[in-house]
Amino acid sequence: MKTIIIGLILIIMSTQFSQSQPGANRTPQNFTDKEQEIVHLSKEKWQWMSDKNVDELSKLFHQKAEFVHMGGHWGTEQGLGIIKSGGIWYKKADIHEVSVNIIDNTAILLNRIDLLAEVGGNEVSNPFEVTEVYIKQDGIWKLGVLSFTRLMTPGDR
């Protein structure tokens, strides 16, 4: 399992550094039913994170999930603890682009978002490319990787 997760992370990293494929960002009516299921699950996840609904999130997150953020990286238990305590409060994710690729029992969703969050009592807004990797086990999608890559803005140069 560890080898699979490391492999997926490497694939995701290479995907993020390559140029987007034409048509990769599709409108909801162009997603297949399976892809739309992942898009819907991702949107629910953002709402649950905003609501600090760790009960629903704990059902979604795989027990061995990995989270990568500007502040570091952690596993499921610590990630849920951070959300529950408000250490990071994911207030609102404005989603601008979505792409989904399903490979066997693995779904890779990329979101370009503007995230409004509260970190350590300070409200911050950042543009991110968020990578979500879902793994289907026993007919249920589980989130295995949630990775935030901060995007550069004109003021960063």
Res 126: pLDDT:
95
In the chain, the amino acid numbered 98 is V
Q: How far is it, in rounded angstroms, from Cα 68 to Cα 54?
A: 18
First-last CA distance in the chain: 40
Is residue 102 within 8 Å of 110, Cβ to Cβ?
no
Residues of the chain with pLDDT under 70: 1-29, 157
108, 10 in Cβ contact below 8 A? no
Residue 157: the pLDDT is 67
- DSSP states along 72-90: EEEEHHHHHHHHHHTSEEE
pLDDT digits (tens, 9 = 90+) for 9-30: 333 333 343 334 433 444 455 8
For residue 28, what pLDDT is reported? 53
Residue type, 42: S
Q: What is the pTM of this model?
A: 0.80
